[in-house]
Amino acid sequence: MQVKMEPSWAAKLQDEFEKPYFEGLVSFVKSEYATQKVFPPGKLIFNAFDHCPFDQVKVVILGQDPYHGPGQAHGLCFSVPDGVPFPFSLQNIFKEIKDDLGIPVPKSGNLERWARQGVFLLNATLTVRAHQAGSHQNHGWETFTDRVIHLLAEERENLVFMLWGAYAQRKGQFIDNSRHLVLQSVHPSPLSAHRGFFGNHHFSKTNEYLVANGKSPINW
């Protein structure tokens, strides 16, 4: 099956595209886009991959679902396009960056600038029905994104994995801590951020690790 995706990722995942579960997933997603309002726009489903080639990944941030409100999701977890108000979790991410590194809160919540520096902003599920959180879970996306994380963890060295919340931590529980830096805390959601996301210093810890391993830090 031909899937439009950045070439280095497409080559790594070609075997996955041929598996029966993925063909079923494609059928489901096509049907949903044809009959429902679904986010992100179809051409942006693999936006995280397109902005961050396999060999350029330095940091992995794992989300769960795309945003399900109009105009929010554009294929990068926690990110919104220019001009879109910040969702609460993104507000809290920027607050922690400001407290951790002294970087002012930006005017835009578009995190493409992170992706271009090697921050892979992956949702576990890459599509969602409008206003229905979790509506595309358990249709095959999780199997696909598990494979993506395995490829990074097994074929790359000295990556940083940011796993926020129990869902992300379960999904990344196999990652070898001796090969990569695995940073865990509660989710930046308003329901939990005050219980350990604020003050986790994940952004400064990431840059310290990258520099220690001969990589350029991220300009958060």
Write the pLDDT tens digit of every residue in 24-46. 999 999 999 999 999 999 999 99
Asked whether residue 142 carries a pLDDT value surpassing 90, the answer given is yes
Q: What angle do CA 66, 187, 202 make, to 5 degrees?
A: 110
Q: What integer pLDDT is reported at residue 157 of this predicted model?
A: 97
Rounded CA separation 29/50 (Å): 19
Q: Is 148 exposed, middle or buried (0-12, 13-18, 19+ CB in 10 A)?
A: buried
Residue range 51-61: mean pLDDT, rounded:
98
In whole angstroms, how far apart are CA 79 and each of 114, 123, 176, 178?
Answer: 10, 11, 27, 30
Q: Is 100 a catalytic residue?
A: no
Residue 98 · residue 203 · CB < 8 Å? no
Instruction: Report the chain's C-alpha Rg in angstroms.
Output: 17
Asked whether residue 20 carries a pLDDT value surpassing 90, the answer given is yes
Q: What integer pLDDT is reported at residue 3 of this predicted model?
A: 84
Q: What integer pLDDT is reported at residue 4 of this predicted model?
A: 86
Residue 90 · residue 220 · CB < 8 Å? no
Q: What integer pLDDT is reported at residue 26 of this predicted model?
A: 96
Q: What integer pLDDT is reported at residue 19 of this predicted model?
A: 97
The mean predicted confidence, pLDDT, of the chain is 97
- Tell me the pairing of strands 38-39 and 128-129: antiparallel
**Structure confidence at residue 62 as a pLDDT band (50, 70, 90):** very high
Which helix (H) or strand (E) covers residue 63, if one does?
A: strand 59-63
Asked whether residue 8 carries a pLDDT value surpassing 80, the answer given is yes
Asked whether residue 2 carries a pLDDT value surpassing 90, the answer given is no
**Is the pTM here over 0.95, yes or no?**
yes
Asked whether residue 132 carries a pLDDT value surpassing 90, the answer given is yes
**Structure confidence at residue 60 as a pLDDT band (50, 70, 90):** very high
Q: Which of 65, 100, 146, 176 is catalytic?
A: 65
Rounded CA separation 209/192 (Å): 26
Asked whether residue 92 carries a pLDDT value surpassing 80, the answer given is yes
48: left (phi over 0), alpha (psi -120 to 50) or beta: alpha
Which helix (H) or strand (E) covers residue 142, if one does?
A: helix 141-155
Q: Which of 109, 107, 122 is closest to 46 using CA atoms?
A: 122
Asked whether residue 1 carries a pLDDT value surpassing 80, the answer given is no
Q: What integer pLDDT is reported at residue 65 of this predicted model?
A: 95
